[in-house]
Amino acid sequence: MKVKNIETSTIKRIAEAIRCGDLSVTEIAEWSIANRQDRGGVLEAYKTWNPDQFISEARAVDSVFAAGIDLGAFQGIPVSVKDLYGVSGYPTFAGCPRELAKKWQIEGPVVRALRHQLAIVSGKTHTVQFAFGALGTNVHWGTPRNPWDSKDHRVPGGSSAGAGVSLWEGSALLALGSDTAGSVRMPASFTGTVGLKTSKGRWSTSGIVPLSHTLDTAGPLTRNVTDSISAFGVIDPLVSKSPNDFFGRVENANLSDFNIGVCDWYFNDCDPGVAEGVMLALNELEQKGARISSVDFVEIEESNTLFTKGGLSAPEFASFINNEMLEFKEDLDPNVAGRFNAMESVEANEYIARCKHRLQLSSKMRENMLGFDAIVGPTIAISPPTLAEVSESKQYHRRNMAASRNTSTVNMLDLCAITIPVALDSINMPVGLHVISQHGDDEKLLAIALTFEKVLGSARERIGVPPLCK
């Protein structure tokens, strides 16, 4: 394998090339750094970017390989990490204008799982301040640029704002994000990458600055579903103990093995080309043998209604700021601070009622999804807006809620989900197909997504390369 093939190869194939001696870890790091330099930093994926440290880690891993030590598939693979995660040797800002206390640099289980295999960190990617936003904007540090528009600066999706951008930039092969209402899937959908929202409790959120202790989940963004499966096999504490069984189950699934429900509610109020792109992909899947039927669930709409009132994340976030991060309250991004009075005014009885209502909806949803392996629809109903379009507060909040409408239902109903790129909309921005499964069915979800990708093609095959990354 030649170095030039890194951009089109899966992580699995790159790992094989390293072990065959066709590629060194240092070459991968040099390729990553060159990609960022060649694009002049215009995409601005990173809050903290230290190429010297990046190269130093790569050379150290090459030395480990030279000593005959192989700790796993991610040894030497560059990973970008959302700046909510603690990473030893890197500051954590969580989108704030000032660095957080040193305790937020402590690595949690997700980062440690990759570090134990000697994955190398490319840098810390930008996030919306304290992860409270769907569009990816940050008044303190700037907003990464969506690479699909070479003319206007469009938002990349939030709150894992730099994650998907780092993948297209070519500075990382895996990106770590977090998802409370769609913060992995929204940037993945907006940038044409794959984003996995894991089942709540499946992966530890220790070592990640919290937004909502009830809804927060950790998850990866990748260039294709195969890479997402590779990451899951290493990070997930259940399957990492017997990865071969996991890979066999996921990779040997067939399209006709699954009963798929197309959820009409997710197609409401879509921008031009969004619903059409998803339906075209579903028609292709059906022609290749997918078992697809139309469904609707009242619980989805009710969960969205609860979310628009602030759900659980808003009052839990307010409690976190007022009790642990009070010194940062005065520095809150205006788009966050503007909603803070409403967040902290939620009384205890109202919060308890919301918790109870959410659990009731979740229970009903589990019952009603029986017989379906997954339900599908557009990941996000709108096209990524330009920065200018969300510069005014009212327009920001309108589009912020529109972007998170579909994805937030998954968190509110305790489901797991993945988005895969399937089309370009009427303004040539990526469209994601949202695949949603029951809580705990993460392996099945990945199997379904892989069967879809085998028919539809990976992002590069399906929708091409962003104009700013050619």
Residue 303 bears catalytic tag:
no
Q: Which residue among 80, 159, 160, 458 is the active-site one? A: 159
Across the strands, what pairs with 197?
417
Q: How many CB atoms lie within 10 A of CB 467?
A: 12
* pLDDT for 203: 98
Q: Which residue among 160, 171, 178, 183 is the active-site one? A: 183
From residue 221, how far is each of 140, 230, 273 by CA, in Å? 24, 12, 24
Residue 388 · residue 155 · CB < 8 Å: no
> Which residue has tokens 């979310």?
307
In the structure encoding, which two tokens stand for residue 309, read together? 């009132």
Residue 235 · residue 114 · CB < 8 Å: yes
Q: How many CB atoms lie within 10 A of CB 264?
A: 13
Q: How far, in Å, CA of 84 to CA of 104, rounded? A: 8
- Find the CATH number of the domain harbouring 293: 3.90.1300.10
Closest CA to 403 of 172, 19, 26, 137: 137
* pLDDT for 3: 46
Q: What share of the chain is helix, strand, coil (3-state, %, to 5)?
A: 45, 15, 40
Residue 159 bears catalytic tag:
yes
* pLDDT for 392: 94
Domain residues for 154?
A: 3-469
* pLDDT for 4: 52
From residue 128, how far is each of 96, 161, 254, 334 by CA, in Å? 9, 7, 38, 12
The DSSP symbol for 166 reads H
Let me know if 337 is exposed, middle or buried by CB neighbors in 10 A (0-12, 13-18, 19+).
middle
Residue ranges, the chain, pLDDT below 70: 1-4
In the structure encoding, which two tokens stand for residue 76, read together? 């030497």
Q: Which residue among 82, 124, 197, 444 is the active-site one? A: 82
The model's pLDDT over 38-83, given as tens digits with 9 standing for 90+, comes to 887 789 999 999 999 999 999 999 999 999 999 999 999 999 999 9
The model's pLDDT over 268-283, given as tens digits with 9 standing for 90+, comes to 999 999 999 999 999 9
* Omega of the bond leading into 159 within 30 degrees of 0 (cis): yes
Considering its fold, how many domains does the chain have in total?
A: 1
